[in-house]
């Protein structure tokens, strides 16, 4: 029996989770929320994490009923992510590991999402669509690595959604992406947007720039109380609807192409954007047409959390992976395919 505790803080979520042999014992999390129209800056995010992490740790221990001496390994997010929040949480994990006299393991954030998704959904060997605020990747496992078949060549899909939410001044509570999803349900008119798939890769920055030109002039004209023009024929709800439909169609196309290449009959959606019901619906239609199965989790496990780091660290630890103290650092750029997957059998 192995019990692992995980610390996650690569972006605006700070979480602590505890697992015991694949059983989730605690999954405590808080979010740093900024005012509408503003993003979260690295320095302020790190300050938030430092101020909240010990209370969250206490809650996780209380909920799990686990004492520190029962824990076998302390895990933390090594990367990728924003440097100040990553560092703040890594320092806490190193300190806890030293106080408790436990081994420490740095976990790849992307691997954490994948392994948590596989645990919850019981997917065997899926093509993985990893979509979040900082990452957009299509992944498949082969020969002890999670191989990246396609990815964004500029900004992540979650970043695209978040930045558009700031343009139209949507609330960041509970998240910009969630609020765009709710507004998109009220959209009735599809606005044609650039569709940018380049082989297996995608580009989102041009779509955002195009939308910015459509959203901002309309707001400015309304403020000046000018006569209705062509730009005023769509609403913010229409733009949210159009943005989702276009972005998600790009994801479905590239995911299907990866499935065809690998012969996969499963798709697993992970990452914060994976909570989006419309994305799941569109991917589900494609899977049904191919005779494949779609797997996804809810917001407890899609959104960044500490238990996914604990579970991935648990997998690593029980397969013999160990980390020297000198290696317990962070890296903002830690690619999914850099990790040797020692816990899976080919």
**116-173 confidence digits (pLDDT tens):** 999 999 999 999 999 999 999 999 999 999 999 999 999 999 999 999 999 999 999 9
What is the rounded average pLDDT of the residues 306-324? Answer: 98
CA within 13 Å, CB half, 278: 21
> Is 169 annotated among the ligand-binding residues?
no
> Is 76 annotated among the ligand-binding residues?
no
Q: Which two tokens stand for residue 249?
A: 């169609």
Q: How far is CA 63 from its chain centroid?
A: 25
Mean pLDDT for all residues in the chain: 95
pLDDT at 346: 77
pLDDT at 215: 87
Indicate if the pLDDT at residue 220 is higher than 80.
no
- CA 153 – CA 181 distance, rounded (Å): 24
Task: Say which residues have a Cβ less than 8 Å from residue 15's Cβ, sequence separation at least 6.
Answer: 6, 7, 8, 9, 27, 28, 29, 30, 56, 304, 305, 306, 307, 309
pLDDT at 228: 46
Range in 38-42, 80-84, 227-231, 271-275 the model is least confident about: 227-231
pLDDT at 264: 96
> Is 131 annotated among the ligand-binding residues?
yes
Q: How far is CA 25 from its chain centroid?
A: 21
Indicate if the pLDDT at residue 276 is higher than 60.
yes
Indicate if the pLDDT at residue 184 is higher than 80.
yes
pLDDT at 70: 98
Cis peptide before 80 (omega within 30 of 0): yes
> Is 177 annotated among the ligand-binding residues?
yes
What is the set of domains in the chain, with CATH numbers? 3-114+303-327 (3.30.420.40), 123-219+233-300 (3.30.420.40)
- CA 87 – CA 81 distance, rounded (Å): 10
> Is 132 annotated among the ligand-binding residues?
yes
Indicate if the pLDDT at residue 22 is higher than 70.
yes
Indicate if the pLDDT at residue 222 is higher than 90.
no
Residue 231's pLDDT band, with cuts at 50, 70 and 90, is very low
Residue 224's pLDDT band, with cuts at 50, 70 and 90, is very low
pLDDT at 217: 60
Residue 225's pLDDT band, with cuts at 50, 70 and 90, is very low
What secondary structure does DSSP assign to 225-280, as a single string? TPPP-GGGGS-HHHHHHHHHHHHHHHHHHHHHHHHHHHT--EEEEESGGGG-HHHH
Task: Say which residues have a Cβ less than 8 Å from residue 251's Cβ, sequence separation at least 6.
Answer: 129, 131, 136, 157, 202, 279, 283
> Is 162 annotated among the ligand-binding residues?
yes
> Is 304 annotated among the ligand-binding residues?
yes
Indicate if the pLDDT at residue 219 is higher than 60.
no
**What pTM, to 2 d.p., does this model score?**
0.94
In percent, how much of the chain has pLDDT > 70? 95
Task: Say which residues have a Cβ less than 8 Å from residue 324's Cβ, sequence separation at least 6.
Answer: none
In percent, how much of the chain has pLDDT > 90? 93
> Is 276 annotated among the ligand-binding residues?
yes
pLDDT at 216: 72
> Is 130 annotated among the ligand-binding residues?
yes
Residue 37 · residue 24 · CB < 8 Å? no
> Is 53 annotated among the ligand-binding residues?
no
- CA 127 – CA 210 distance, rounded (Å): 31
Residue 303 · residue 13 · CB < 8 Å? yes
Bridge partners of 197? 202
Task: Say which residues have a Cβ less than 8 Å from residue 224's Cβ, sequence separation at least 6.
Answer: none
């Amino acid at each position: 029996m192995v019990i692992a505790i995980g610390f996650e803080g690569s972006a605006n979520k700070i979480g602590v989770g505890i697992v015991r042999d694949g059983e989730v014992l605690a999954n405590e999390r808080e979010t740093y929320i900024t005012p509408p129209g503003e993003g979260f800056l690295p320095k302020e995010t790190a300050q938030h994490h430092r101020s909240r992490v010990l209370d969250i740790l206490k809650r996780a221990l209380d909920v799990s009923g686990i004492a520190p001496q029962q824990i076998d390994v302390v895990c933390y997010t090594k990367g990728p992510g924003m440097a100040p929040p990553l560092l703040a949480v890594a320092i806490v994990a190193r300190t806890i590991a030293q106080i408790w006299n436990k081994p420490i393991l740095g976990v790849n954030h992307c691997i954490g999402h994948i392994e948590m998704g596989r645990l919850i959904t019981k997917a065997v060997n899926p093509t993985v669509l990893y979509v979040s605020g900082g990452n957009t990747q299509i992944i498949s496992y082969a020969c002890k690595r999670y191989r990246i078949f396609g990815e964004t060549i500029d900004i992540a899909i979650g970043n695209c959604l978040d930045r558009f939410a700031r343009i139209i001044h949507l609330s960041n509570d509970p998240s910009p992406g969630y609020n765009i999803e709710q507004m998109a349900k009220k959209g009735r008119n599809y606005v044609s947007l650039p569709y940018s798939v380049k082989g297996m890769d995608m580009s989102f920055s041009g779509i955002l720039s195009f939308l910015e030109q459509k959203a901002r002039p309309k707001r400015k004209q309304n403020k000046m109380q000018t006569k209705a023009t062509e730009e005023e024929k769509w609403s913010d709800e229409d733009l949210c609807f159009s943005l989702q439909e276009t972005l998600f169609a790009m994801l479905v196309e590239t995911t299907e192409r990866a499935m065809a290449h690998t012969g996969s009959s499963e798709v697993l959606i992970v990452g914060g954007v994976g909570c989006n019901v419309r994305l799941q619906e569109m991917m589900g239609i494609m899977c049904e047409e191919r005779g494949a199965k779609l797997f996804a989790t809810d917001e407890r496990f899609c959104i960044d959390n500490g238990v996914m780091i604990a579970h991935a660290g648990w997998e690593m630890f029980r397969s013999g992976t160990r980390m020297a103290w000198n290696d317990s650092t962070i890296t903002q750029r830690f690619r999914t395919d850099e990790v040797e997957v020692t816990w899976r059998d080919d």
